[in-house]
Amino acid sequence: SLADRLNGVFDSLRGRGALQEDDVRAAMREVRIALLEADVALPVVRRFIDKVTEQAVGQQVLRSVTPGQQVIKIVNDALVEMLGGGDEDASRLDLDAKPPVVIMMVGLQGSGKTTSTAKIAKRLREKEGKKVLMASLDVNRPAAQEQLAVLGQQADVATLPIVAGQQPVEIANRALQAARLQSFDVLMLDTAGRLHVDEALMAEMKAVASVAVPREVLLVVDALSGQDAVNVAQSFTGEVPLTGVVLTRMDGDARGGATLSMRAVTGKPIKFAGTGEKLDAIEEFHAVRVANRILGMGDIVSIVEKAAESVKAEDAERLAKRMEKGEFDLNDLRMQLQQMTKMGGLGALAGMMPGMKKAKQAMAASNMDDRVLLRMDAIISSMTPDERAKPALLNAKRKRRVAAGSGVEVQDVNKVLKMHQEMSKAMKQIKKMGGLKGLGALFG
Ligand code: GDP
Ligand code: MG
């Protein structure tokens, strides 16, 4: 994966202070290949690489991660940003207008317009309680209007009655009138496509847009069509007032590259991702998920992120030293519990750390869940500093005091002590396996 390759590039400079330009450039060659393999358009790749290089060169390497991991994080963050991440509002449908709010769907034939129209309509009805009317303006393809009517029945969404012989603009006017008269909240216009972008298609889209005054004009593109998708997006941009993109067939083996290109070429947010033929197979767009998909590396990013966020490198080193000397007391255990809580609790940690299998088994054996983490923290807080440093001091009387102080039973205090013992043991084992550095970095 890209993650392995980047770590390879940086192998030689582990432990050095700042990311050097030559090393970053070498790493960016790998990123470039990965992006092209993921089907990102070349000009978009170039722009991206320049930006990331500029950001990465000279950055101080965090002590708790490798330089390779750190570059992966920089690349990942830049991807998320370029995909519009962080701007959650932009990727939501804008229905803030006088009803009926018009949503117009445009795109090539077969891109998934009709299906997406029904999917979005169903969603608006189910999730937002909207009263939605759908109308097909596709007079080119035989039975296109009937197709939408059938989907409407499946989705339990109203469709405009079909009148033979009408042209798209006439149908749009009739739909608007019906939507007003019957007080629909939303009117969705499913338009005709062509096999290729041509002037007749653009003229028709413009004419419809000028009578319907849509609040949203969503360009529907097939994520699997790769470079073609970019050309299509380019042709529509500037011709019709696009407000967003729907990427269909994200369930196929598209690696997500089209997403990045689409966002960069249109400058418009991706609003939905189609993930199958069924009417429920549509998702809101998640920049983070797509970035992970493009880089093909899943958990690495979250490990680095969490390490950077919640672990101070110096603390990690201090703990590592203590552990090397076999000093692991209840203060250390408490610090680890707090880190675990910050890092997303036990569930998030499971599977992330191969070296932690033993300790995890010990936790599982003592029936731990995330509330237990907090309770253990409370128990340790009720101990004196002496008791934390020397757990052996905790005789029956002291245990009763601690239990009373933290509102638990003595057996819960015993569980913490047992857990501490198990973890000390497990850590000695990990040390033998040579996993100490990684562990220290993660657990701090
Ligand atoms: P239109 O010509 O743009 O209206 O495209 P349609 O909505 O008729 O869709 C064309 C084909 O693509 C149909 O067979 C749909 O079931 C299929 N389709 C649409 N969206 C998706 C999707 O997200 N995933 C998959 N696998 N198929 C889709
Ligand atoms: Mg259609």
CB 331 within 8 A of CB 388: yes
CB 265 within 8 A of CB 43: no
Residue 439: the pLDDT is: 44
Question: Who wins on pLDDT, 431 or 236?
Answer: 236
Split at pLDDT 50, 70, 90, the class of 441 is very low
Rank 74-78, 98-102, 406-410 by mean pLDDT and report only the highest. Answer: 98-102
Task: Give the least confident one: 71-85, 110-124, 163-177, 292-306.
Answer: 292-306
Structure confidence by residue, pLDDT tens digits, 225-254: 877 778 888 888 888 999 999 999 988 766
Q: What percentage of the chain's residues is helix, strand, coil (to nearest 5)?
A: 60, 10, 30
Distance 249 CA to ligand 1 centre (A): 8
Do 272 and 156 lie in one domain? The reply is yes
Q: Closest Cα to residue 363, out of 347, 380, 344?
A: 347
Residue 339: the pLDDT is: 67
CATH number at residue 355: 1.10.260.30
Residue 295 has pLDDT above 70, yes or no: yes
Residue 221: the pLDDT is: 92
pTM > 0.90: yes or no? no
- For the segment 34-39, the average pLDDT, to the nearest whole number, is 80
Residue 333: the pLDDT is: 79
Do 187 and 256 lie in one domain? The reply is yes
Do 40 and 146 lie in one domain? The reply is no
Buried b vs exposed e over 72-106: b needs ≥16 C-beta within 10 Å? bbbbbbbbbebbbbeeeeebebebeeeebbbbbbb
Q: Is 306 inside any structural domain?
A: no
Rank 19-28, 175-184, 327-336, 411-420 by mean pLDDT and report only the highest. Answer: 175-184
Do 262 and 228 lie in one domain? The reply is yes
CB atoms within 10 A of CB 358: 17
Assigned token pair, 314 = 């110096």
Structure confidence by residue, pLDDT tens digits, 44-75: 899 999 999 988 887 776 665 677 777 877 88
Ligand 1 atom nearest the C-alpha of 190 is: 4
- Helix or strand or coil: residue 14? coil
Split at pLDDT 50, 70, 90, the class of 442 is very low
Assigned token pair, 396 = 């029956």
Residue 12 burial (10 A CB sphere; 0-12, 13-18, 19+): exposed
Residue 130 has pLDDT above 70, yes or no: yes
Residue 313: the pLDDT is: 53
Do 354 and 423 lie in one domain? The reply is yes
Ligand 1 atom nearest the C-alpha of 275 is: 23
Do 37 and 160 lie in one domain? The reply is no
Do 123 and 240 lie in one domain? The reply is yes
Residue 167 has pLDDT above 90, yes or no: yes
CATH number at residue 71: 1.20.120.140
Rank 206-215, 260-269, 317-326 by mean pLDDT and report only the highest. Answer: 206-215
**CA 256 to the chain's CA centroid:** 12
Q: Is 300 inside any structural domain?
A: no
Residue 199 has pLDDT above 90, yes or no: no
| Beta-carbon contacts of residue 262 (< 8 Å; ≥ 6 apart) | 221, 229, 230, 233, 245, 247, 270
Domain stop point among 36, 57, 86: 86
Give this complex's ipTM: 0.99
Distances (CA, A) of 44 to 83, 142, 231, 355, 444: 12, 38, 13, 39, 38
Domain stop point among 255, 287, 319: 287
CATH number at residue 186: 3.40.50.300
Residue 158 has pLDDT above 70, yes or no: yes
Distance 149 CA to ligand 2 centre (A): 11
- For the segment 267-281, the average pLDDT, to the nearest whole number, is 91
Q: Using a pLDDT cut of 90, give the percent of the chain over it.
A: 35
Nearest C-alpha to atom 2 of ligand 1 is from which residue? 110
- 123 known ligand binder: no
Do 261 and 123 lie in one domain? The reply is yes
Do 210 and 111 lie in one domain? The reply is yes
Residue 440 has pLDDT above 60, yes or no: no
CB 138 within 8 A of CB 106: no
Residue 214 has pLDDT above 70, yes or no: yes
- 110 known ligand binder: yes
Domain count, the chain: 3
- 193 known ligand binder: yes
- Which structural domain, as residue segments, surrounds residue 100? 88-287
Kind and range of the H or E run holding 159: strand 158-159
Q: Closest Cα to residue 220, out of 253, 240, 245, 242?
A: 245
**Three-state SS across 267-318?**
CCCEEEEECCCCCCCEEECCHHHHHHHHHCCCHHHHHHHHHHHHCCHHHHHH
Q: Is 305 inside any structural domain?
A: no
Do 267 and 349 lie in one domain? The reply is no
Structure confidence by residue, pLDDT tens digits, 342-393: 665 555 554 444 345 555 555 565 555 667 777 888 899 889 888 988 898 9
Ligand 1 atom nearest the C-alpha of 281 is: 23
Q: Is 295 inside any structural domain?
A: no
What is the rounded average pLDDT for all residues in the chain?
81
Torsion of CA 200, 206, 207, 209, to 10 degrees: 140
Q: Is 303 inside any structural domain?
A: no
- Helix or strand or coil: residue 371? helix
Residue 432: the pLDDT is: 61
Q: Is 24 inside any structural domain?
A: yes
Letter for the amino acid at 275? T
> Which residues are bridge partners to 189 per DSSP?
104, 135
Kind and range of the H or E run holding 134: strand 132-136
Rounded to 5°, angle at Cα 337 from 334 and 338 = 90
Do 143 and 154 lie in one domain? The reply is yes
Do 94 and 76 lie in one domain? The reply is no
| Among the bound ligands, the one closest to the CA of 138 | 2
Task: Give the least confident one: 73-87, 101-115, 193-207, 403-417.
Answer: 73-87
Distance 368 CA to ligand 2 centre (A): 52
Domain stop point among 23, 54, 86: 86
Q: Is 152 inside any structural domain?
A: yes
- 113 known ligand binder: yes
The Cβ-side half-sphere exposure at 312, using a 13 Å CA radius, reads 5
- DSSP for 163-222 reads -TT--HHHHHHHHHHHHHHTT-SEEEEEPP--SS--HHHHHHHHHHHHHH--SEEEEEEE
Residue 438 has pLDDT above 50, yes or no: no
Distances (CA, A) of 303 to 68, 69, 296, 339: 13, 9, 15, 13
Q: Is 299 inside any structural domain?
A: no
Distances (CA, A) of 79 to 47, 48, 167, 231, 340: 11, 8, 43, 21, 27
Residue 274: the pLDDT is: 93
Split at pLDDT 50, 70, 90, the class of 312 is low
